[in-house]
Structure 1
Amino acid sequence: MAAFAQVSPDRVDSGRAPPVAETTPEEGAPQATAPIIPDATFEDALPPLSDDLNAPLEAMPALDEPQAQAPGTVATAGQGDLGTAPAQDSELAQPLPPLAVFDATPPAEIAGEGGDRTSAGIPYDMVVQGLDEIDAESEFRGLSALKEGGGKAANGAMIAARAREDEALAVRIMKARGYYDASAIATIGQVPSTPGRVLVTLSATPGPLYKLGAITVKAEPTVPPDLIRANLPLKTGDPIEADRVQGAEANVSLKLPQMGYPFAKIGTRDILLDDETYLGDYTLPVDTGPRSSFGTISTRGDLAFDAAHVDLLKRFETGELYDSRKVDDLRDALVATGLFSTVSVIPRRSHEAGPDGTERVDLLVRQNAGPPRTLAGAIGYNTGEGFQIRGSWTHRNLFPPEGALIGDGILGTQQQGAGLTFRRSNAGQRDKTFSLIARADHSNYDAFDAFTGTLSARWSYDSTPIWQKRLTYSYGVDLIGTNESVYNFNVGERKRGTYGILALPGQVEFDTSNDLMNPTTGYRLKLSLSPETSVRGAVRPYARMLIEASTYYPVTDSLTIAGRVRAGSIQGIDRDDLAPSRRYYGGGGGSVRGYGYQRLGPFDPNGDPVGGRSINEFALEARYRFGNFGIVPFVDAGNAYESTFPKGSDLRFGAGIGARYYTNFGPLRIDVATPLNPRPGDGRIALYISIGQAF
């Protein structure tokens, strides 16, 4: 195969015969007539002429009557004897078929097997020289047209076009890194050892590196005076790199609205290069706009709630210096309500000065209310609890502002129930929630069989997937009526009993972890306290307490070690006077895995758990993640005790391995565990399926 070379247009040979020059005779000059020499062969081919002018003409021979050719004559393809006439083809007289029935499928020999037209292309290799000196070869190869072509092109012109594109790419990359005298050239030739294979060599010459000289900012005075320059991280002597310069300007665009200048605009930079000193003087014009403070809030559109409730969500005061971060915070709070299909917060100039000399900026909230109703469902399985199907219907704004009505139900092999909840989000204070709950449940476990009705009121300050807070709390009141089966150790049999319970539950949690559903760093501390009174023949006050701590340590980006410890105690009441559903039990997916749900703790003579007044639990996991999947080996330990304080002895251990599939709302958890020191009646394998990590 011949090597590719550039050819000048004036050297291109078209293959045509040279034109004949025409000579025009001068006007009035005598014209010489060349003698006409008859062609004997041509004359012999014509029929003889008769002297009788009135004689009829002889008929021309038909095409299908071949005429004898004179020796030495050559018949032209598709042409008969000069004395023959073209035959009439009956197919030509037929009308053309309509275009709609024309078959445009190319023949097999043209289309090729499977339509692969690149199989007959020209293979090529690429060599890059000079870019590795400035650490730019990797970036170049990631954008290269030749590289993207996969080492094959349909023809040589395509290879040349890709090479020209890569020349321009190499120059752009070098200039973006401060090499403004850069050049690049691509040469195309054969691979010497492989006939038919092309070698493209791109040679880059960066030239000298240009650096920043004088740095000038053109802007109106600011407060403080050096606000722009202090937030423009460029200094004399820095390379004039595009990423560095654009990043510095972006930082100014970000910082000015955070420091009271919501309408600041960055102008077009000017860099004057000196090819002798290789320095570039940099000038940046900035239109700061007025220094501003927060004014009023108004809203328009398809409203989910009015401006007064929007004002409740803000974390700034009227007259406070404008800060775009607080505007973004307000926008996020509006999105977090879940009541909008679209919502925006737009600063508007008022052209009115405030008492501190700043201009008041009013915020316009544009709302477009979204569908308020939601249907949700979940399914899960745990050994000891069986299958559970949960569903809920929510109207998030039935009682504006943000007054939701929620109906939920659970259908499981061992638990069934339904509830109705009224929930007011951002109730009088941002992020504070008030709830009224009415529930009816049936629970059928080895430990107890209970029919329970609950009325609750609760105030809470909670974390959500959008807003994760360090300090959260909740407090409220529960009124519970429950009829439960309980083993009576005095008579030696299980009997049913009815309990009336008044509880004042409270909880405080401090959370430094980085994620609610899948933490990989930080720690959590949680304290729960519930003073309660149980009525069953007599009034018996007591207190339930539970403390829990968990920590998360990232060994690598893929591996996290997680640990948890939990301890609980019930003070002021005998175990047998306590409703079985209010006692502590161990075992299950959220406790010591490997043991059945509520199977850790004291048992009655029939081998059924009866619960205790204290509990302790320990857990250690190694969470290894690869992509959207993960593997989690774990070890758990713990037990429940009849005494009011947990013991360090008689711990039960479980171990296993889990699989994780990470979704955008949390990891799907599948854990398989086995007890390491089982008791008679404990199963060998336990399976747990749920959403979220174990802790």
Structure 2
Amino acid sequence: MLGLLARTANRVVTGVSLWGVSLGCAWAADPQPYVTTVKPTGQADLDAALNASSDLLGLQGTHAVGPFALAGRVRSDYERLRTALESCGYYGGTVTITLTRQGAKDGVKLDGQSSALASWIEGIPEKEKVTAEITVEKGPLYHVGQVSLLDPKTKAPLTLNTTEQNAFGLKTGTPAVAETVLGAGGKLLEAMREEGHALATVGTPKAYLRPESKTLDVVYDVTPGPVLNIGTINVAGLKRVNESFVRRRMTVQEGQLYQPSKIDAARQDLTSVGVFSSVAVKDGADQAVNGTMPLDFTFKEAKRRAIGAEGGYSTDLGARAGINWTHYNLLGNAERLKLAALVTGLGGSAQQGLGYDVYADFFKPDFYSRKQNLSVRLEGLRQLFWSYRQTALLARAGLTRQVGRYWNVSYGLSAEQENIQQFGVSRDYTIISAPLGGAFDNTGVGNPIEPATHGIRASLNAAPSVSLGNKGSGESFFTILNATASAYFDLEHLGISKPGRSVLAVRGTIGSIQGAGTYDIPPDQRLYGGGSATVRGFRWQGVGPQYKNTRYAIGGTSLDAGTVEYRQRILKSFGMAGFIDAGQVGSSSAPFTGTLRVGVGGGVRYYTPIGPVRLDVGVPLNRPERGDKWDLYIGLGETF
């Protein structure tokens, strides 16, 4: 600590008092039990430092020690407690440790550094405890006096620029707290390195006590060194990942100003690619090389293949379960291929029977441009909803591009060949669409399963589509528009909880289909409400126009829904939530039409390392005649 670096000719000497009683024929207590009390100083941070520094207090819960070991703890506590005092800026304080036999009324005062200390303890009868009372007089608070920054070779003073001065921040008159004084040097070093001084050094400060003025003069040895650019970037540890891909992906280049923050950002970005278990970077030399600083990147590749399971359950859609296989580095450029096969519709109230979902996903990062990713999906599925039965083949390809810190845009093409049976009529559809979208996310959560605690997520999408004429159906042109936004408020800002423990989450959704009427649009392209995506308590497709007062949903051309949810973590691994959902589906293209449905409910959470396991129960407040009385939802991650 800083206090050990201080030098003064008039050091304050502290003493110890030992009180005890001689009882004649006492036998040695070995080991010797004891208890410790530390009298509060009235300053919370100082009390915490004293309690943390005391060996007598910290070790009393361990097995009892012998007289000589206990005497050693007493003596060592003086220096430890003085250091704690000085680290908080109190350089003139005193420490007194008093040992008393429990129940003793009179005693003999001994010097704590005396050789008689251990003998006194040894004379205490067996099983009789000793009380160690620590009293600290903190004395006056010292402040920083003169601050000097010197070249260690020439001893000449250094002048800081504005950026370095602001980072350093230590000024005359500041309380001489060790954390502040030591931290100032670290901040100065960080600022200098950020300006390209890769070889800069800031030594441990030397402190000089001035008892007459109650100040502490501080001297730092500072060597800025030259301003350097990034030199040769060396890459090691690559086995199956192409080095060309890694170098294209790097956000730092040779000749760029040496800045640790940007170098570490490049390391984190490479880690996020998903093919490395670790990425490390360090300076490649201990001195400048032709006016530059080389960098050494070292990679450890993760496993390339993985087999996983997928599953979920809700009372409306039933159980969904299956397996998947993923290759994380298919062609050596972090391409990801995922194959999955799932059984769907197991026991759902909105289902008429078992279905399947089989798909292949291909993902290629940095497709023709950095921060532009290609996604391709081929999928075959069968869904047997009460509202319609669908058997379909789908092909989708799209690009997602990051256009700002929080913004992404996406565009692509989609084709679908399907057969749908609805209300006793079977039709074939060929649908081609060109989806376009934009998304904003400043929640700071990269993993979609990890719950957000603050910030906003928003998306806006448009899908111009054409349904080509096939058997039993005509051609139609329509555009599906939808927007969703969610906001998260950490109640820590109100002072009523710790960060991330109490969160209020709000979600709103609005959708519209333009250009065609309900029955001119294929049933799977229409808008539906109900379920965890809109209104819990109502089964999937349970909100909106129904066919002849049955449980068969027609679907609509407009949708609006909103959710307010309160999330509370309990203990370390558990949590709970309460929510209210409302929404409606209309037969016109204008939202806010149709019958408004409202559901309420709550649930529990179990937090795992990969995200929360969620169990929610929703109850409809204005249930239609044939609607469900309640619905259960189980999944991984929050609903939104």
For Structure 1 versus Structure 2, the TM-score category normalised by the shorter chain is 0.7 to 0.9
**Distance change >3 Å, CA 614–CA 182, structure 1 → 2:** same
Please tell me whether the aligned partners of residues 304 and 367 of structure 1 are also in contact (alpha carbons under 8 angstroms).
no
Q: Which amino acid aligns with 1:210?
A: Y
- Alignment partner of 1:406 is 2:406: no
Please tell me whether the aligned partners of residues 297 and 307 of structure 1 are also in contact (alpha carbons under 8 angstroms).
no
SS of the equivalent of 2:528 reads coil
Q: Which amino acid aligns with 1:559?
A: S
**Distance change >3 Å, CA 325–CA 154, structure 1 → 2:** closer
Quote the offset at 1:434 in angstroms: 0.5
Q: Which residue of 2 aligns with 1:618?
A: 562
Q: Which amino acid aligns with 1:691?
A: L
Quote the offset at 1:255 in angstroms: 1.7
**Distance change >3 Å, CA 383–CA 223, structure 1 → 2:** farther
TM-score between both structures, scaled by the size of structure 2: 0.82
**Distance change >3 Å, CA 160–CA 5, structure 1 → 2:** farther
Cα distance in structure 1, aligned partners of 2:582 and 2:44 = 57
Q: Which amino acid aligns with 2:374?
A: F
Aligned counterpart for 2:82 among listed residues 146, 166, 171? 171
CA deviation vs aligned residue, 1:307-365 (integer Å, no higher than 9, x gap): 43233223345533221111111100111112223322233358565xxxxx3333332
Q: Which residue of 1 aligns with 2:327?
A: 395
Equivalences for residues 640-679 of structure 1 within 5 A: 640-679=585-624
Please tell me whether the aligned partners of residues 124 and 151 of structure 1 are also in contact (alpha carbons under 8 angstroms).
no
Cα distance in structure 2, aligned partners of 1:648 and 1:495 = 28
Cα distance in structure 1, aligned partners of 2:593 and 2:162 = 63
Q: Which amino acid aligns with 2:173?
A: G
Equivalences for residues 137-156 of structure 1 within 5 A: 137-148=47-58, 149-150=60-61, 153=64
**Distance change >3 Å, CA 607–CA 307, structure 1 → 2:** closer
Cα distance in structure 2, aligned partners of 1:227 and 1:616 = 51
Quote the offset at 1:246 in angstroms: 1.5
Quote the offset at 1:141 in angstroms: 2.3
Q: Which residue of 1 aligns with 2:223?
A: 287
Aligned counterpart for 2:397 among listed residues 457, 470, 490? 457
**Distance change >3 Å, CA 272–CA 134, structure 1 → 2:** farther
Cα distance in structure 1, aligned partners of 2:265 and 2:175 = 37
**Distance change >3 Å, CA 458–CA 223, structure 1 → 2:** farther
Unaligned runs of 5+ in 2: 1-17, 106-126, 347-353
Equivalences for residues 147-546 of structure 1 within 5 A: 147-148=57-58, 149-150=60-61, 153=64, 159-192=70-103, 196-219=128-151, 225=161, 228-316=164-252, 318-348=254-284, 351=288, 359-412=291-344, 413=346, 414-461=354-401, 469-487=405-423, 494-515=424-445, 516=448, 517-537=450-470, 538-546=474-482
CA deviation vs aligned residue, 1:260-295 (integer Å, no higher than 9, x gap): 112222223222223333333211112223201234
Please tell me whether the aligned partners of residues 474 and 507 of structure 1 are also in contact (alpha carbons under 8 angstroms).
yes
Please tell me whether the aligned partners of residues 130 and 205 of structure 1 are also in contact (alpha carbons under 8 angstroms).
no
Q: Which amino acid aligns with 2:48?
A: S
Cα distance in structure 2, aligned partners of 1:363 and 1:223 = 29
Q: Which residue of 1 aligns with 2:122?
A: none
Quote the offset at 1:418 in angstroms: 1.3
Quote the offset at 1:469 in angstroms: 4.9
SS of the equivalent of 1:532 reads strand
Please tell me whether the aligned partners of residues 586 and 594 of structure 2 are also in contact (alpha carbons under 8 angstroms).
no
Q: Which residue of 1 aligns with 2:15?
A: none
**Distance change >3 Å, CA 461–CA 617, structure 1 → 2:** same
Note the aligned Cα RMSD (angstroms). Answer: 3.2
Q: Which residue of 2 aligns with 1:601?
A: 544
Cα distance in structure 2, aligned partners of 1:682 and 1:153 = 69
Please tell me whether the aligned partners of residues 237 and 298 of structure 2 are also in contact (alpha carbons under 8 angstroms).
yes
Quote the offset at 1:142 in angstroms: 3.7
CA deviation vs aligned residue, 1:168-215 (integer Å, no higher than 9, x gap): 321121121233344423221133489945332222233444332221
Q: Which amino acid aligns with 2:484?
A: E
Q: Which amino acid aligns with 1:427?
A: F
Cα distance in structure 2, aligned partners of 1:659 and 1:134 = 37
Cα distance in structure 2, aligned partners of 1:222 and 1:319 = 28
Cα distance in structure 2, aligned partners of 1:586 and 1:231 = 54
**Distance change >3 Å, CA 282–CA 502, structure 1 → 2:** same
Q: Which residue of 2 aligns with 1:23?
A: none
Please tell me whether the aligned partners of residues 584 and 593 of structure 2 are also in contact (alpha carbons under 8 angstroms).
no
CA deviation vs aligned residue, 1:136-174 (integer Å, no higher than 9, x gap): 223322443333324984665555444334333211211
Quote the offset at 1:399 in angstroms: 0.8
TM-score between both structures, scaled by the size of structure 1: 0.76
Q: Which residue of 2 aligns with 1:92?
A: none
Please tell me whether the aligned partners of residues 508 and 561 of structure 2 are also in contact (alpha carbons under 8 angstroms).
yes
SS of the equivalent of 1:682 reads coil
Per chain length, whose mean CA-contact separation is higher, i.e. which structure has more relative contact order (CA < 8 Å, sep 6+)?
Answer: 2
Please tell me whether the aligned partners of residues 324 and 339 of structure 2 are also in contact (alpha carbons under 8 angstroms).
yes
Q: Which residue of 2 aligns with 1:574?
A: 517
Q: Which amino acid aligns with 1:360?
A: T
Range with greater deviation from structure 2 (642-651 or 401-410) = 642-651
Aligned counterpart for 1:591 among listed residues 534, 555, 568? 534
Greater gyration radius: 1
CA deviation vs aligned residue, 1:525-583 (integer Å, no higher than 9, x gap): 21110000101343311100101222222333333222222111111122222221111
Please tell me whether the aligned partners of residues 149 and 157 of structure 2 are also in contact (alpha carbons under 8 angstroms).
no
Range with greater deviation from structure 2 (310-319 or 643-652) = 310-319
Unaligned runs of 5+ in 1: 8-12, 16-117, 354-358, 488-493
Q: Which amino acid aligns with 1:502?
A: I
Please tell me whether the aligned partners of residues 544 and 595 of structure 2 are also in contact (alpha carbons under 8 angstroms).
no
Please tell me whether the aligned partners of residues 303 and 367 of structure 1 are also in contact (alpha carbons under 8 angstroms).
no
Cα distance in structure 2, aligned partners of 1:550 and 1:540 = 33
**Distance change >3 Å, CA 693–CA 311, structure 1 → 2:** same
Please tell me whether the aligned partners of residues 312 and 429 of structure 1 are also in contact (alpha carbons under 8 angstroms).
no
SS of the equivalent of 2:370 reads coil
Cα distance in structure 2, aligned partners of 1:221 and 1:461 = 51
Q: Which amino acid aligns with 2:427?
A: G
SS of the equivalent of 1:126 reads strand
Please tell me whether the aligned partners of residues 563 and 620 of structure 1 are also in contact (alpha carbons under 8 angstroms).
yes
Quote the offset at 1:638 in angstroms: 1.0
Q: Which residue of 2 aligns with 1:115?
A: none
**Percent of aligned pairs with the same amino acid:** 26
Please tell me whether the aligned partners of residues 214 and 236 of structure 1 are also in contact (alpha carbons under 8 angstroms).
yes
Q: Which amino acid aligns with 2:586?
A: Y
Please tell me whether the aligned partners of residues 339 and 369 of structure 1 are also in contact (alpha carbons under 8 angstroms).
yes
**Distance change >3 Å, CA 655–CA 451, structure 1 → 2:** same
Instruction: State the number of aligned residues.
Output: 571
Q: Which amino acid aligns with 1:650?
A: T
Quote the offset at 1:649 in angstroms: 4.9
**Distance change >3 Å, CA 133–CA 553, structure 1 → 2:** closer
SS of the equivalent of 1:231 reads helix
Quote the offset at 1:689 in angstroms: 0.7
**Distance change >3 Å, CA 222–CA 418, structure 1 → 2:** farther
SS of the equivalent of 1:302 reads coil
